[in-house]
Structure 1
Amino acid sequence: MRISSNYRHAAGLAVLFLGMIGARPASAQQARPPAPDGPGADVREAVDRLAEGLKAAPLVRPEGTDCFRLFVADVETGEAAPVVEEPEKGRTRCGSPCWSPDGRKILFHAAPLDLWQLSRIEALELVGDRPRVVDLGSGRFPSFGPDGATIALSLVRRADSKDAPGVWTMRADGGGRRWAGGQGKPIWSPDGRRILVVHPGASSPPSLMDAAGRGYRPITLEGRRIFSVPAWASPDTIVAAVGGESPEAIAVVDVADPDRATVREVLWRRSDGPDVEPGEVAYSPETGRCVFVGAGPGGMATYAMRRGDPAPPRRLERGGYDPNLGGLALSPGGRYLLFHTDNADRPMGRPPRVAMPGRDDRSPAAEAARLVAALGRDPVLRPQGSDRDRVYLMDVASKRLWTVLDEPARRLSFCGSLSWTADGRRVFLDASPLGLYQMAHIKSVELRDGRPALIEHKPGNCPSLSPDGEQIAYLANSGGDSSEEPGAWVMRADGSGAHPLGVYGPPLWSPDGSKLLITGFGSPIHAFLHDVQAGVSQRVRLDGGKLIAAPEWAGEDLLLAILEVGTSREIALLDVAKPWRASVKRILFQAPARGGLVPSDAVYDKRSGRCLFAADEAGRMGLYEVQPAGPEPPRRIDAVSAAPMIADLALSPDGRYLLFRSNAPDRGPR
């Protein structure tokens, strides 16, 4: 069945109730499968070409990493280790950490890839002696106010939110949000009177405004520019990388009057060595310790120095460089440095060795030390399980497998809602980042110059191409790149003429193209047959059963359905010639009332009468086959490894190939 399990999860594995009329004749169980009437030679040839192309050149994950990890380093010893990697499934880009004034909490943001509009603010604190992550809501670039009771943050515009983009403030528990204005990374001043706003674009200088958002003014430093992210040194001074056309020094800048900012003191010049371009800065007012990012030919590294100490900056890392490094934040007392990096090759390192403070020492520096020690013992690392769904191609006769889609484009790590076109030349699907179905785009795979190519159509989910190839039905969702009203839509194959159908749910064309099967969500779910010409929908009703997965067309006026009847589950063919009085035509498989297989997704080949289905057994899913003749139980397809999820089964038009997706570890030929 082609509806993505993303939707089943989002709907809480909802149950579809199919009315209270119709009958289930016992003789229906003995019905013979329909006579074969396979596709023409041109369709079989098209299927062969596309299948062979995908076998030879699968669309696999691009090189590189999309993960930003948080590290903590002991500035005195240089020891560093990752402490936050993926606090929630899919939120792999962690950054912009900051310490609370009392040293007991760390704030940071976590986003799925570079989808900053979906970023969340996370708070990390000790509960007992173990770190715990608490979600504080949407946002990025969190910054504690000096009282620890208020947080400044930034919001990015998103289609499904009425919240204005820009800088906001909120309570430390995530409540009481208020828009302040400006746009960029906010940083509270030590006295809480002002907020420094660092703009996303490097060409714009940082700005200052008061805590209520008034008096927004850019900082003007005559003859020089402020580069990257500064740090507060006092209520009226910041420490920043400054220079003319490029950053040349780390300096203390007086911003009491942002219109006439002045350099009060130069802490280091690039000409004095080391020869690196300075960038983001962290500063500890208590100790005068300054840490900055220095970029050279090999990449980025961190350098530490003290205000008033003539010694040159000391590199913290023992070797290697990072392609991207930032988010510098010094703990109260200046001993520990937090930062983020996307360097997958950075050594895991050894956690900083912390000299534990006395039980009665509740100073901010002592609290920070306790938190660092706990993170060293129990870091917030990546959850167990796969971070993407792969699409597999199976030869139905030989049961041989190939991995054919494995993150075919950057960010698009979850591919689902698979369907072959009637001519066998294309496969339609939706592709989304990390299962965020509202961000999905409609894609198709076809051969171009003999190789599979991924074709973009538009934002949307659950695409279905009409049998004549002229129209695409799809589901529009809010919260992503689409501006369309949520619901089922139809458009021409070239993307023009899109119009809504007035009902919400994934649409699926009937074999003759006259109707659309639209299945809703909720508990129970309702299924409708939508007459395309008349524009009228009729609800499918059946006596005594609940549909627990989206149905699939099995022929003209015939649906393949997984029913819940009492405490058992059945895979059955439903006659929907009269949708208001649907009837069971044939039962293909019946699961026992207790234990055994729990089917969740199925496809049917009307030519052979073969049924393939995914089912759960003892918490793991497998793929099974039911033959049309005889009372034999379903046979497990051993070539398909057990997995937490197997879904979106799709047969080729000639029934020779099966596509499905799974989040099991890779196991097919590549």
Structure 2
Amino acid sequence: MPFAPGTRLGPFEILARLEIAGLGELYRARDHEQQREIAIRVLPAEFGADPDRLKRFEQEARAAALLSHPNILAVHDIGTDARTAYIVSEPIEGKTLRGALAAGALPVRTAIQYGVQIAHALAAAHERGVVHRDLKPENILVGSDGRVRVVGFGLATVTQVESALAGLKGVAPGVTLGTPGYMSPEQVRGVPPDPRSDVFTFGAILYEMLTGARPFAGDTPLVTMTAVAKEEPKIPADLQLPPVLERLVDLCLRKKPGSRPAAADAARVLHDLWQPAPPPPTAPTRAIAPLPSPLPAPPAAAPAPRPAPVPDVALAPPPPPAPEAAIPEPAPVVAPPRRRLVPIVIALAVVGLLVVLVPAVLRLLRAPAAPTGPAEPIATMTMPDRPVAEFALSPDGRLVAFTAGDGAGARQLWIRSLTATGEQPLPGTDGAAFPFWSPDSRFIAYFAQGALRRTTADGSGAPQVIAEATASSAGAWNGGDVIVFPREGEGGPLVRVDAKGGTPAPVTDLRPGELAHMWPVFLPDGRRFLFTVVGENTRSVHVGSLESSERQQVLPDASGGALAADYVFFIRGNLLTVQPFDAERLEARGDAMPVGGGAGEEAVRAFSLSTGGILAYQTGPPSGPARSRLVWFDRTGMEIGTVGEPSDYGDVSLSPDGMRIAVSVRPPDTAAADIVVIDVATGMPAPVTSDPADDTAPVWSPDGRRLLYASTRSGSRDIFQKSAEGTGSDALIVGGEGDQVAYDWSRDGRYVLYQTNQPRIAEGGNFDLWARMLPGGPSFAYFRTIREATLPKLSPDRQWVAYTSFENGREDVYVSRFPRPVGRRRVSARGGSWPRWRRDGSELFYVGPGNQLMAASIERGDVGTPAALFTLRAKADRGYAYDVSADGERILVNATGDGRVARPIALADWRAQVRR
């Protein structure tokens, strides 16, 4: 029964009932003790009659009451009065988002404005360990000033009663059923929700705000939940929304929780989209303002750029509203909170970092020429929300440019100052890779979308194309505006081009046994440059010249050479190393001294030097066995999802239906691998083999019911067969002396292709290609060579075999007819290995020099020009490190690295590093 005005509910006096659709029994009330007006939401009568449910509600509500955020309705108190349970909050006014959606889709800018505030609220709650679990338009308030507040945190138990499924029993403590149409797929399956479940629901709400329709709808709750579990809603193309906005909605609505962005990432993307105009350059870019630098910015230094606004024409907004209905600036928090840290800890950490970082960097900038200071890093930079792919320190030592993904997964170029917090994206740099600077620190060159491009460090103006290129390393830019860079992603010599644009011309030439020239760095004279020569199993640093093709090796067994005063820095093994260097005589002298990394420690993965004395370097896992991840990429190299948990994975192989992955996995503290099958949808592994021997190289049968694999259980490596379910015995298919490894099973089930050295053990053990007829048929030699042939892959129509051969003294990919190797054509231009066919046979993928994933079209044996897709950061020491989806649009990679764990960039005085 509703309460009349004047009724006392605990210490509160009811003033009037509030009619806000979707919020149930709600009252405006007076708190006489605190002398303030409040809102009271009376909970269903079932709560007062169920002590267990009431206790659970009180626990959740008290946790939610600790949340303090402008976009979360503040909870003041909870209580009971004569078995009436209620919750006390700040005053409520306005309408629910459900009411705002009554007329259909919202204007796009309004949807973005509401969305960014909702995402901020979720991010703040998730950081405190609070999950909403029943987010829906009815739980979102929109004030007359445009301010959005999310209600219902901690009220998950309430929604069990109020939802359409309230009659269902047996709900476990702490688990909410949610509301059909706004539940996540895992909630539909009965899995307890977590922050990623809220993100899915947020995606559904964002979809509804943009389209006016629910993404999942049905005549009954069961039909609706089935849609949530199975359907893939797409925003209608005629809405012409910004691509990054559509991408964000798509990512939020991914079925697998691990493929969704965090709420903080979603907030960042929406905030960048909503930003109507760049603020004055002095405006802070984060909620916590950086400490001002006492150094005046030199003319070459640029202010931190701002993200580009969403063009009005792209958003197609309605006519401007009346002044009182204008969309306001987002609620006070304009930057999403950091994950896993409460706001006050973030503030203290940032201030603490600045106290250390700013004076340290300023000391480096002002340091005298004489080397001083310790040899260890004096500060670190960490971008916890943006794991860095590549980075480059500006020559003046004030900025670092780096490539990283945004909240929606798109990779682009970012800038960060060494004397302030916060990083900013550079507009128009989607897909950026391998950045490097102009000598005056005003411009940044990078590779993206098949071209070498340049942009300004302050983000002003549109990026410009310099030349067509698909590179595998950064380039070098001298004072005469000449750029030297590796033009071809699959390997090749270095070329030169004018920094303003032009036709590239070769500046080095490949010699026998060389696959690629990479990582050029100019010497002080601007004519000569260091560069890395990549061979099949070697790397060395040479000096080249713009004036001739002559060159000189200066550092064997090294890569990435860079000169600083009278010293050369380079990577040798896991070590960042420095050695005295005579730039006139082109000689490395004295002893090489390690700077960082090494066996048993983190390995140095990349480094960069400024002319003023700053060394920046980043560490990563050392070489050797390491945990890796199974990651989905699109053809541009954008990470779009993961499968399962990190482990020491080896070969990967997708099942014919694409629903399972067969992979070799090395358990901890063992040298032998087992075969495991992982469900793509759930990430759950199921063992297939468990023998103490080393089991590797899984190959699926055409029907997906069996697996071939190589095993050392009989001493040498032989081919066995077993059920993909892990049941039954292991059947020997091909055995004997030497090693036999299968790499394909024809689609009609008649042939197994494998490599073996059995007939040639006495000749040195080189591999040839053989085929075995099934069931129980003979084996026959398919391709024999005086060199070696490996990794056979049969085309889907069984007409061609792709394989790797060393006929020209290096690895190259070829195709030949089957069952006789006639009509041979070379696919790779400058080396390659690890071929895989697209399922329809129209394309062949392989790995080229520099770990570039290449793709070449093939029609009736005619091979097209290979195109570089992206650089594979793959675990290549344990067999096939990638596979391709049936449509060729997604690449599954056994990826090295730490996933989304941010690796810090260490800052040091390189002059102190060489003072021993």
Same fold (TM over 0.5): no
Q: Which has the higher strand share?
A: 1
Q: Which has the higher helix share?
A: 2
Higher relative contact order (CA 8 A, sep 6+): 1
